[in-house]
Amino acid sequence: MSRSLRLSQAITLAALALLVMVGLRLGLALHLLSRQTSAATLAPLHAMFSVLPMLFAMRAGRWMDQVGPTPLLRLGVTLLSASVLLALFDGPLWLWYAIAAMNGCGFMLMVLASQHLTGHCGTPAQRNDNFARFSLGMSLAITIGPLAIGSLLEWRGFFAANLALLLASLVAALVVLFGSFSEEPAKANTTDASNAANHAANDAVKDAAKAAAKDAGQAAVPAGTKNATGAVSDGTAPGSSSPTALWHDPALLSVFIISTLLIGCWDGFMFMMPLYGKQLDFSPGLIGTLVAMFSISTCLVRFSLPLLARRFGMWHTLLAGLFGAGLIFGALALPLPLAAVMGLVILLGLALGNSQPGTLALLFQHAPAARVGEAIGLRVTLCNASQVVAPLLLGSLVAPFGVVLGWMLLAVPAVLAALVLALRPPRPSGPQPPG
């Protein structure tokens, strides 16, 4: 199968999964807010979309390293379709918790598999472009989802909105059923070969030290030992199943940190916008339109990602986005006319738009080849942890103190984190590819 067809399938499945998840999450929030549900009640339900993915993404990534992406796609689309089918029946609050958990797990499995497929399409030199295309598809989904759900809720009600999501999930099921997802490993370039040699040398040194220290009960070479390439060992056992083994690579650690911060900003905005809109008496259609405007701007800025990465480097591009997002959140805390809100929402999309393709491209460049799925799983775990903490924290404080405090809670950490990370740039153990 051609590279373009495999890439198209991966993008289509990820986009449909995101459309269904975002559509259900926004539709559920607007539906419950119309029933005068408080922010404190809505926050745990919003977080439930991410709780189980946070707990099981690492295991899912390891499973994918063993069996490939196809089983994850099949299980993911089954859970996604079942959750939307149940959502057609308006029930008690506990049922919505179960639906949210099921939907979040299905989305996590499908996106893990789709990202893995995208990373293995073509050569490593093509990954920036591949992930830029992948994220364009995601932007399209997150544009259509809120816009359609907000409009359907306003015109036809909650049942019609969920019926549209069910149709989207069935389309994804057809792609999984009739598609082909065999992987074609990417050909190594100079940088990836050097990184792979560095990881292999580390493992060889640790194997030798482990054998030599067996009688003394030592499990690994001490941290700080240099391998044959001159890189510093991380002190972990080769093939260790502990996620902390991946954190000892400085470049990977930097990617995980900034990825978690950026997704926290993204999800904080998605949680705050319905509450913000309700406070300002916006209609469901207008709230959906604002979220769609954010998504369209994330889509537009991704066309510039290859150019920005070559000109400024991927790390500095992501760092600028984090800092800009913090400033925009601070501005949203001010009393503003609708036109200014729309302008800030568009600027926020431009600031955060490159977060996903940028962090994924860096992840594939620096992760050990045999643990790419696990590294993706760890990234998803950290992102879902952020998606759990952000709504719970914001919801508990917005309910008594209002949305201004919520925007400031997003603004201050983003600006401070960007400044701190700017003073501590990543220092990979091996050569770092340009951009």
Q: In terms of C-beta density within 10 A (0-12 exposed, 13-18 middle, 19 or more buried), how is residue 76 classed? A: buried
- Residue 328 corresponds to which tokens in the numbers above? 């925009």
The percentage of the chain sitting over the pLDDT mark of 70, rounded to a whole number, equals: 80
pLDDT of 162 higher than 60: yes
pLDDT recorded at residue 427? 59
What are the residue ranges spanned by the domains of the chain? 3-186+243-423
Q: SS3 of 213, please?
A: coil
Question: Phi/psi of residue 235, each to 5°?
Answer: 80, 10
Whole-prediction pTM value?
0.64
User: What 8-state DSSP symbol labels residue 171?
Assistant: H
pLDDT of 305 higher than 80: no
Count the neighbouring beta carbons within 10 Å of the beta carbon of residue 235: 16
What is the residue type of 52?
A: L
428 within 8 A of 250, measured Cβ to Cβ: yes
Q: In which region does residue 94 sit, left (phi positive, over 0), alpha (psi from -120 to 50) or beta (all else)?
A: alpha
For residues 151 and 378, give the distance between their C-alpha atoms in angstroms, rounded to a whole number. 36
pLDDT of 378 higher than 50: yes
Residue with tokens 């399209």: 140
CA 128 from centroid of its chain's CA atoms:
16
Average pLDDT, the chain: 78
Check residues 201 and 329 and name the one with the higher pLDDT.
329
18 within 8 A of 270, measured Cβ to Cβ: no
Q: SS3 of 20, please?
A: helix
pLDDT recorded at residue 189? 42
pLDDT recorded at residue 116? 87
Kindly indicate the confidence band of residue 202, based on its pLDDT and cuts at 50, 70 and 90: very low
Look up the CATH number of domain 3-186+243-423: 1.20.1250.20
Sign of the alpha-carbon torsion through 347, 145, 260, 239: negative
